[in-house]
Amino acid sequence: MDTQKKYITNNFQETQTLGKKIAIEILSQKTKNSALILALQGDLGAGKTTFLQGFAMGLGIKEKILSPTFIIMKKFKIQTSSLKMKIKNPKFTNFYHFDCYRLDKPKEILELSFKEIILNPENIIAIEWPEKIKSLLPKNLIIIKFKHFEENKREIIIDNF
Ligand code: ADP
Ligand code: MG
């Protein structure tokens, strides 16, 4: 699991498609004994939320993932099986989307039961602006770095996956 994968996308749909593909790969992996965490790094507009829109689709979530303006965390139910889903998923039941952009102090996130959420192996957690809560993150993370090249071109590097 010490690999790095690099992708270039040329429009937002390609970034969503990549997110969907990664979700499907995650569903087919072996279970861990704590939550599965994605840390999404990159500037505003780099494509983190766009990636997560596709990622959520891959998990079978029908609600749209938005950039939370004032909300720091949103919880979604993951479907455990449906005819449409490519992979049956008996292990993950919740998807949490955190956006730490507006956090002033890392500690504030503890009020949202962050510690309990990251311990539960039934959870998949995606964190935008993980730098803001660096001291509270476990070591075992999938790090995804987004770089904004041109108007519609992005480089997306996935570490430790
Ligand atoms: P972030 O969450 O990193 O701040 P968003 O995903 O909210 O970024 O915004 C990215 C913006 O850039 C969206 O308006 C999206 O349509 C646009 N965009 C253009 N090209 C791409 C691409 N290749 N990948 C992702 N987003 C893109
Ligand atoms: Mg965002």
Query: Measured in angstroms, how far is the CA atom of residue 139 from the centroid of ligand 2?
Result: 23
**Does an H or E element contain 129, and which?**
none
The pTM (predicted TM-score) of the whole model is: 0.94
Alpha helix ranges (H) inside the chain? 12-27, 48-58, 114-119
- Name the residue with tokens 């099986």: 81
Query: Measured in angstroms, how far is the CA atom of residue 31 from the centroid of ligand 2?
Result: 28
One digit per residue, the tens of pLDDT, for the chain of length 161 reads: 568 999 999 999 999 999 999 999 998 887 788 999 999 999 999 999 999 999 999 999 999 998 866 779 999 999 776 556 666 666 899 999 999 999 999 999 999 999 999 999 999 999 999 999 999 999 999 999 999 989 999 999 999 77
Question: How would you class 4 by CB atoms within 10 Å of its CB: exposed for 0-12, middle for 13-18, buried for 19 or more?
Answer: exposed
Closest ligand 1 atom to the C-alpha of 47? 6
